[in-house]
Chains A and B, each alone.
Chain A
Amino acid sequence: MNTGWSDEALVAKARAGSDAAFMRLVQRHEAALRGFLRRSLGGSAAEAEDVAQEVFLAAWSRLGDLKDAGRVRAWLCGMGWRKAQDRMRTRRRDVARDGAWLEIAEATPGLSAEDRLAVAQAMGELSEVQRACITLCLVEGWSHGEASQALDLPLGTVKSYVERGRARLLAALGGSHDA
Chain B
Amino acid sequence: MTPEQKLSALLSAAARPEPQGFAFSALLAQRIARRRALYRLLALVPLAAAAASVLWTLDSVLKHQTVETGTFEPLAPGLLALVLALATAFGGRLLARVIARR
Pair B10/A175 contact, Cβ less than 8 Å: no
What residue in chain A is nearest B34 (Cβ atoms)?
Answer: A57
Pair B29/A23 contact, Cβ less than 8 Å: yes
**Beta-carbon contacts of A159-179 to B below 8 Å, as 1s and 0s?**
000000010011001110000
Pair B7/A139 contact, Cβ less than 8 Å: no
8 A Cβ contacts from A22-61 to B: 22-23, 26-27, 30-32, 34-35, 38-39, 45, 49, 52-53, 56-57, 60-61
B70 at the interface (CB under 8 A from A): no
8 A Cβ contacts from A71-109 to B: 101, 104-105, 107-109
Pair B25/A31 contact, Cβ less than 8 Å: no
Question: What's the A-B contact tally at a CB cutoff of 8 Å?
Answer: 98
B13: which of A30, A104, A174, A175 is its contact (CB, 8 Å)? A104
Pair B10/A119 contact, Cβ less than 8 Å: yes
A141 contact set on B, CB distance < 8 A: 15
Is chain B's interface secondary structure helix, strand, loop, or mixed overall? helix
How many residues in B have their beta carbons less than 8 Å from beta carbons of A? 32
**Beta-carbon contacts of B28-54 to A below 8 Å, as 1s and 0s?**
110111010000000000000000000
Pair B20/A27 contact, Cβ less than 8 Å: yes
Q: How far is the CB of A151 from chain B (nearest CB, A)?
A: 18
Chain B interface (Cβ < 8 Å from any Cβ of A): 1-7, 9-21, 24-25, 27-29, 31-33, 35, 100-102
